[in-house]
A and B are shown apart, each in its own frame.
Chain A
């Protein structure tokens, strides 16, 4: 779609009236939006350097397509500054990977929201928050990039609540769910380094998150104590499945864990080993499925950490993404369960603003 072909609406030259017009058209997430004035959209497009008609993502069931132009219009409405736009573009390129299955995760009763985890120097370049109140309000980049994702799902892909979005309860992350990985005082390689992107490149990782679970532990002074409480949250009967996990370690918990020399890999292995339930326990709540057990315990293919007679969360330690984020004070980490109970959505990552191994 060229700029000339895009549909436009003439509204009176009054900002509040234009905001009301956006409501009347059904273009909002319930909160007021910035009217997508043509000049602002064109400024947004300058930050991408790709033709406006480039297709970023295609809905597998309806065939609806999100172009760079449509993304820019919704980014303006969400309140994004133009320099945020490359993060949004990369996020949708990641969500468009078939294994992310954005149709399923946004249509499902499970109430999923796409969590965006940004890693690398881009965070400081655009002023994202990786620190205090990480998931909360107060930072324009975090708030509006996440919000733009939802507006695109609503406006472009028509994932309309009650019609095509059948979330039973939804979750607050469906307004915005975007964080940055904290680099300051982080003793481990950053996520973007683990992903083997070249130095200086940033990445965004998308994960179909099923909610947010705070893990409080102010008394644990060893890695096993802190991680034991996180593993317990991951294994709660309401959450345990074969799906993937995101764990955001608070700096205070990180000091306990990494201060004794634990690596990220050790943490993943500990969490995978301990985030488990017995078969009897799973049966007691009606959640045991033999096919899940067989998938996790398949001969020759399962993780060596899998224990006979138990269901673990995920299929291997690789299914647990661990990053650091949040303010210096407080024994509050979090676990974010997958929307998927199995392998229906697998997290994906893309580089931001650069093309690596592109077609």
Chain B
């Protein structure tokens, strides 16, 4: 008996890690919050620690309108433009 395979193979993708920063001192930190309960509060608390400890500047917060969908390309482009590094996380 010959069976068809019910699964499919995924596209080939090149995943590359971003180059690590040499130092966090004086860098600009970006925040991507997903819009869920407490996400913004939690991420701002964390960003404030970077501000205190490493003299970081906090970039304008970017929010997702839909927590469960990938961030739109223009959101990611704005973050890449405005921030040297980024923190994100889930609310709830």
Contacts and interface: CB of A to CB of B under 8 A. Distances in A.
A156 B8 contact: yes
A36 B3 contact: yes
A104 interface: yes
Nearest to B92: A109
A35 interface: yes
A344 B6 contact: no
B4 to A, nearest CB: 5
A294 to B, nearest CB: 13
A8 B4 contact: yes
Contact of A11 (B3, B6, B69): B3
A63 interface: yes
A35 B68 contact: no
Contact of B4 (A41, A107, A158): A41
A296 to B, nearest CB: 16
Contact of B69 (A36, A104, A289): A104
B5 A8 contact: yes
Given A13-B1, A18-B1, A103 B69 contact: yes
A293 interface: no
Nearest to A156: B8
A67 B10 CA distance: 12
A7 B69 contact: no
A66 B2 CA distance: 21
Interface residues of A, number: 46
Contact of B66 (A10, A36, A344): A344
B7 A155 contact: yes
Nearest to A70: B8
Contacts of B37: 289
Nearest to B90: A109
Contact of B70 (A1, A14, A38, A60): A60
Nearest to A33: B6
7 contacts: A8-B3, A11-B3, A73-B5, A73-B6, A105-B68, A344-B67, A344-B69
CB-based closest 7 A-B pairs: A104-B68, A7-B5, A155-B6, A63-B11, A73-B6, A73-B4, A9-B3
Interface of A: 1, 6-14, 18, 21-22, 27, 35-38, 41, 60-67, 69-70, 73-74, 77, 98, 101, 103-105, 107-108, 151, 155-156, 158, 289, 343-344
Interface of B: 1-8, 10-11, 13, 37, 66-70
Given A36-B6, A38-B3, A155-B6, 15 more contacts: A1-B8, A7-B4, A8-B5, A14-B1, A21-B3, A36-B4, A37-B2, A37-B3, A38-B2, A60-B70, A62-B10, A64-B10, A104-B69, A289-B37, A344-B69
